[in-house]
């Protein structure tokens, strides 16, 4: 078992500093002034090559973050928790009494 896992690619990217920055200085966040000047104002102004790059990068990040696995796990645990939640609901309605239970049942039948 490892005590200190190796940093992921994402950790390495967030620690990267802009070229030319001083050693020990806080990293500058965001794009440089040249990029901001040339950036399109609206997504419709992007050329087709940029759109394909955006889609490729999005797909790569989706895979790197293992979002399909996380979505599957979320679905699995959500479905798995339905029966206990219904059991708690029925128990609470039993404790609340017949008048409260009857009003809930009337609302559900409408």
Average pLDDT, the chain: 79
Number of neighbours of residue 100 by Cβ within 10 angstroms:
13
Mean pLDDT of 11-38: 63
Q: What is the reported pTM?
A: 0.43
* Residue 30 clears pLDDT 70, i.e. is over it: yes
* Residue 7 clears pLDDT 80, i.e. is over it: no
The CA distance from 47 to 21, in Å, is 31
> pLDDT tens across 35-82, in order?
777 777 888 888 888 899 999 999 999 999 999 999 999 999 999 999
Q: Are 27 and 16 in contact (CB under 8 A)?
A: yes
Scanning the chain, the segments in alpha helix (DSSP H) are 9-15, 33-38, 48-64, 67-80, 82-96, 98-109
pLDDT attached to residue 22: 57
Q: Are 64 and 10 in contact (CB under 8 A)?
A: yes
pLDDT attached to residue 1: 47
């Amino acid at each position: 078992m490892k005590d200190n896992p190796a940093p992921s690619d994402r950790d390495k990217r967030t620690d990267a500093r802009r070229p030319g920055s001083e050693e020990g200085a806080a990293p500058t966040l965001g794009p440089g002034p040249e990029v901001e000047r040339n950036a399109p104002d609206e997504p419709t102004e992007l050329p087709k090559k940029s759109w394909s790059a955006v889609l490729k990068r999005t797909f790569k990040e989706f895979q790197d973050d293992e979002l399909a696995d996380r979505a599957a796990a979320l679905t699995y645990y959500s479905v798995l928790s339905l029966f206990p939640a219904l059991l708690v609901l029925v128990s609470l309605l039993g404790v609340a009494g017949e008048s409260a239970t009857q009003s809930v049942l009337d609302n559900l039948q409408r």
